[in-house]
Structure 1
Amino acid sequence: MAWEHAWLLAMLLLAGLGLQGCKNITKIDTDLVLNLPPPPTPIPLAVIPLPIETSQRPLPPLPPVTSSPPSHPLQLAPIAPQPVVAPPESVALPRLIVWNNCSKLPIWIASSANVPQPATRNVRILPGQSYSFYIPNAGLSSTRFWPKAWCDDQGQKCVLGSSGGDGQDCPDGGCAPPIDSKFEASFGAVGVDCATKNEGCDWFDTSAVDGYSLPYKLEMSSHCPQAKKIDCLGLSLADCPADEWLGDVGNQDLRVWDHLSSKVVGCYSPCGKLSYSNWGNKVGQNAPNSDVAKMYCCPTPPVSPQQCRTGPVEQTAFVKLIHEKCANVYGYAYDDAVGLQVCPAGTTYTWTLGCPTEVVQG
């Protein structure tokens, strides 16, 4: 074991030099060190797996629902999480966190063009996982987020939620009507007092003015103790009115049928049924301010907020369903007393999405 004695001698030499203080070391005898036999090959240690931080959590219980892929062929997204690149806290905070509470399939989230992150307008969220949207601390107005399902591997050409917009590619046969469940917010500036300045406030809602698609729940952080609870997890497409009286056009089926799979993928609001002609909706050729649609869509002018609230839309089965199963949510355009909420900027919103309810024609 000559090499062991040589290395021990070298170590003692270096230790002795070190005791003299680094400032006194000017040269090490390189001949002594460099002529030593090579050290033994180290024995590799066992590989210990490091914990992987994930955003998974146990799924809270949901009402029993079923969900299956549409009958027409789709290229389904591969199972892989989508990372979040977090900006510095001095620039932006995760002010909207979206959870996929559907154990059956990935859900994609689309966002309006002004949302700065992610670079793509479609984010895939796997079952039991979440995605955080970072909103600038300076604020961001007029944002919109909505879910999509049964998409290709880019989050495009979806059966549910491909209603068009910036960065959105519609499926064969055209865009779906924009009846999606949605979260809308104008985010205020963090650090500005909401009690004295509006720019320090978040104004937000989850709107069913156009219709709805997925059940959901919205929770606000402790920054906003006055916020009203929003729990629409019991809202089902099976509850969508199939025989709604809409004045001049008579009784109408508000269910949105996918034109390829014959599945229900959403529910029109009365205004949506009268004003969206997508997918062959024959009564959807009316402008919102037309005589047929104006008392259900309530554009101002010609319809005042008071006229809207006392008109026929308040009494529709659709609005009553939203108020019953989805409290504190807009059921029509001037439902402000129910739907519009305000919280201090910096509040975190957690939006939990459930599975689409399977309803087939027949």
Structure 2
Amino acid sequence: MGTLVSLGSFCLVRFAVRLLLLMFRGAEASTFTFVNKCGQTVWPGILSNAGSPALESTGFELPAASSRAFQPPTGWSGRFWARTGCSAAASGGAWSCATGDCGSGQVECNGAGAAPPATLAEFTLAPSSAGQDFYDVSLVDGYNLPMVVEASGTPGAGGSCAATGCVVDLNRMCPAELRVAEGGACRSACEAFGTPEFCCSGAYASPATCRPSTYSQMFKSACPKSYSYAFDDPTSTFTCAGGADYTITFCPGSAPSQKSSRDSSTSSTTTASSTYSGTGGGLTLEDDSWLASLATGDASHATTARGPVPFLYSFIAAMALAYTLLQ
């Protein structure tokens, strides 16, 4: 009888340990939450880098004032962008988009990337909470929509978990030689002219030889925390401790919620308003210090902090259950 009791106690302890390990693993996992504050539907595209598994979707419809969340595996790397003006041709042709099209002919991108110009959010997640995530918003392939990335996590060694992105409507100030899609997007100088000095290729394929151009400086002046050309690393790459949550907001027009993105992902829709109104609209920065900090590059006002850790309640409950059963 004593042997049976000991065996039962051992099984209960092993079950409790496994449960705690699962909870800790879940706590380390990141969440990507996409939020649409534009005045119209956008179709986010997702491209995993070589060697990273695909997420549960490679492209989806995101109506105005709605959100959708995904949980990537640890160590995932890839990019996100928004497609605009998407529909199937009236004559029954392939599905396509006015900007950011991935050429798949359908909502899912199926491993294809965005056709420039498109504003990109790029991520390399740490393999564990002991490492660091790297993320940025890039205008190297041009621009089609305002985009902001918020990190909700622990800064860690050398990390800041700062918000980054481009809140300015660059389409309104885009030079005529870069403007495409009837003013709905702004090309990079590399895409427009294809020369080595603009593309940082050939003899210009190093930080020492490829310098900012007049065009990239225009992008940088408007969006100082975003990549403006290939070697714009020092002021454009951000880090956060592994396991952070990230909110990717298209057309951000109001201050971000101080709640973690895990909390916000419990609802499939959110009530949101935006002062962005497509290619003819703008973003009001004067009354929003958080957005203004992105426009001026002031990182001190553009950080977020992780909220209470909900799994601690489950941890305490599991320990109490295990203790009771062993009595």
| Category of TM-score, reference length = shorter chain | 0.5 to 0.7
Q: CA RMSD in A?
A: 3.1
Give a deviation string over 1:286-344, Cα, whole Å, max 9, x none: xxxxxxx11111126653211113xxxx141x322222221211100000112122221
CA contact (8 A) 1:96 1:348 kept: yes
Cα pair distance change 1:333/1:126, threshold 3 Å? same
Determine if the alignment matches structure 1 residue 254 to structure 2 residue 178: yes
- Structural mapping, 1:155-194, within 5 Å: 156-164=95-103, 177-191=115-129, 193=130
Q: Distance in 2 between matches of 1:268 and 1:89?
A: 44
**Post-superposition shift, 1:161?**
1.5
Q: Distance in 2 between matches of 1:300 and 1:344?
A: 36
Counterpart code for 1:189: P
Structure 2 length as normaliser, TM-score?
Answer: 0.60
Q: Distance in 1 between matches of 2:29 and 2:66?
A: 19
Give a deviation string over 1:66-114, Cα, whole Å, max 9, x none: xxxxxxxxxxxxxxxxxxxxx9984683432111001x32111111144
Counterpart selection for 1:111 from 39, 46, 67: 46
Q: Distance in 2 between matches of 1:350 and 1:221?
A: 8
Counterpart code for 1:131: R
- Structural mapping, 1:1-362, within 5 Å: 90=25, 93-102=29-38, 104-113=39-48, 114=52, 116-118=54-56, 120-137=57-74, 139-141=75-77, 143-152=78-87, 156-164=95-103, 177-191=115-129, 193=130, 200-224=131-155, 226-242=160-176, 253-257=177-181, 263-275=182-194, 293-299=195-201, 303-309=205-211, 314-316=212-214, 318-354=215-251, 357-358=278-279
Counterpart code for 1:93: A
Give a deviation string over 1:101-143, Cα, whole Å, max 9, x none: 01x321111111445322x421211211111121113x113x0
Unaligned runs of 5+ in 2: 1-21, 89-93, 252-275, 281-327
Partner residue in 1 for 2:271: none
Structure 1 length as normaliser, TM-score?
Answer: 0.54
Q: Distance in 2 between matches of 1:125 and 1:89?
A: 31
Q: Which has the larger share of helix?
A: 2
Cα pair distance change 1:335/1:235, threshold 3 Å? same
CA contact (8 A) 1:99 1:131 kept: yes
Q: Distance in 1 between matches of 2:114 and 2:180?
A: 9
Higher RCO, Cα 8 Å, sep 6+ = 2
Cα pair distance change 1:207/1:165, threshold 3 Å? farther
Q: What is the total number of aligned residue pairs between the two structures?
A: 221
